[in-house]
Structure 1
């Protein structure tokens, strides 16, 4: 008995010694993550500080010192061209919200079908989707513009919304999540009870896929919200511009009107706020193991 206790104590001592020896190496990944976080957050901090400065303070005071002109900048931004900033913000919400909702719906249904049904050409379709993920959106922007011009949809809201609906990466995520989150045995039990395929998808599969759908929605919402090239190419009427293109027009005009730089920085700061609020609001939906115990 004493021999067993001694051996156990020795093993614990060796484990503590190994932990003490390896502990400094555990600090390295944490330090790298902190450096990466600072690298990503510094531009946001700079925009936050710069948006508080008046036109006279922007180029004269220290880089990271707060100014006193934030409220004036906000008032001037909202009053610029009879409140065109609000029009751009509304367009951005339409593009990002509508496009992300439609894309999430298409991705969820497509991913569920690819994960749970066997049909000819399924693997070929999935391989094409994988290839679509590897194609940069920049490559497709000009061909899409030519196609929409041919059918008369250029310079319309549809020209920005429609290309965002089919998202290969979203379909890929939905397929992977549906394969893991929706048990085949649960679907078979529903079929035995007489449920049709449409009802199984609507009442069984999609509720289990909610965390994955929220992730797809957030990814697509942020991608559309920050998208610049597609609306820049598709749209010519500044009344249809999103925030990215609208603020770019201010930046182009700022070369002759330096006072517009304050409005640009304030607009950039305000355009980040909805994204932060969205993430904080929807993170509660990121739950795992929703299907645990369902089969039981």
Structure 2
């Protein structure tokens, strides 16, 4: 076999390997979602009478009705809490992270490099390691089993600060900031009216990362909360899943609730995907 032929065969083999890996990754990501969709149409009896990816008699509306009526409609509280924790928490948290990243990147103040080093060190600390210290602090402040015990810790994210600092370096020219300061603009106005619009793709990227992390947050509410009306969807559905071992009628509710919990995440990515792609491109160059 000639050298050009061997080179072409090697390229096709490598391309096939890449496509195969992408196909496996896609199936790994999509098959659980397909299983949720098909299983949400099943009653308790259908789980043993049908295959995993087979639709049943389309009991989805029956499952939804039972889901929202079970235990006095507590699922409505879980939806509200998740939207507040993730929506409001992600918006405020992304704004705080963006402001901190901008300050580290563009403002000259003592201890800036040390602060950024501490921030990078914070990225390496797993959230579960902070749960006990946060609980003890919330207990001292008498915030345990309140909305604020979960909401306030979600407003900080070291990785978001790191991303925002990268975006500020890449997208905010020092000359523009200097011109604004010469015109008499204060630092808050410079950030809000000049730097933040330039960092909008980065802000959206941090917002999405915050939103997904808060929406999927489980361990912190588990530690902080005992009142079911304060639970987010993740914790509430988990508690129902533990009951399903003794009461099988909870199985359709857990699956239908899990399907509903995925919808806001997909919606957020679909709506903000253009800004998110631009933010990843801008943040890839430092």
* Offset at residue 118 of structure 1 (A): 1.9
Aligned partner of 2:133 among 134, 143, 155: 143
| TM-score (normalised: structure 1) | 0.88
Give the alignment partner of residue 240 of structure 1, picking from 227, 230, 235: 230
Q: Alignment partner for residue 58 of structure 1, among 32, 36, 47?
A: 47
Scaled by the length of structure 2, the TM-score of the pair is 0.91
Distance change (3 Å), C-alpha of 1:73 and 1:57: same
Q: Report the 3-state secondary structure (helix = DSSP H, G, I; strand = E; otherwise coil) of the residue aligned with 1:194.
A: coil
Which stretch has the larger CA shift, 168-177 or 245-254? 245-254
1:27 to partner: Cα distance: 2.3
Q: Does 1:23 align with 2:12?
A: yes
- In the TM superposition, residue 197 of structure 1 has moved relative to its aligned partner by 2.3
2:174 pairs with 1:199: no
Report the CA distance between 1:190 and its aligned residue: 2.1
- Aligned counterpart in structure 2 of residue 127 of structure 1, from 95, 117, 120: 117
Shift of 1:134: 0.3
Distance 1:287 1:72, change over 3 A: closer
Partner residue, 2:165: 175
Aligned residue for 1:59, secondary structure, equals helix
User: 2:74–2:228: 8 Å Cα contact kept in structure 1?
Assistant: no
Cα deviation per residue 1:246-275 (whole Å; 9 max; x = unaligned)? 111211221221011011000000111111
Between the aligned partners of 2:213 and 2:271, the Cα distance in structure 1 is 18
Q: CA offset at residue 20 of structure 1?
A: 6.3
What is the aligned-residue RMSD (CA, Å)? 1.9
2:49 is paired with a residue of what secondary structure?
Answer: coil
Which SS does the other structure have where 1:236 is aligned? coil
In terms of Rg, which structure is larger?
1
- C-alpha distance in 2 between matches for 1:225 and 1:286: 18
The one of 220, 234, 239 equivalent to 1:249 is 239
How far did residue 16 of structure 1 move? 10
- Offset of 1:147 from its aligned partner? 1.1
What residue in structure 2 maps to residue 11 of structure 1? none
Work out the number of aligned pairs and report it: 277
Aligned to 1:114: 104
**Cα shift readout 1:199-233 (whole Å, capped 9, x = no counterpart):** 22111100011111111111111111111110011
Structure 2 portions without partners, runs of 5+: none
Counterpart in 2 of 1:156? Answer: 146
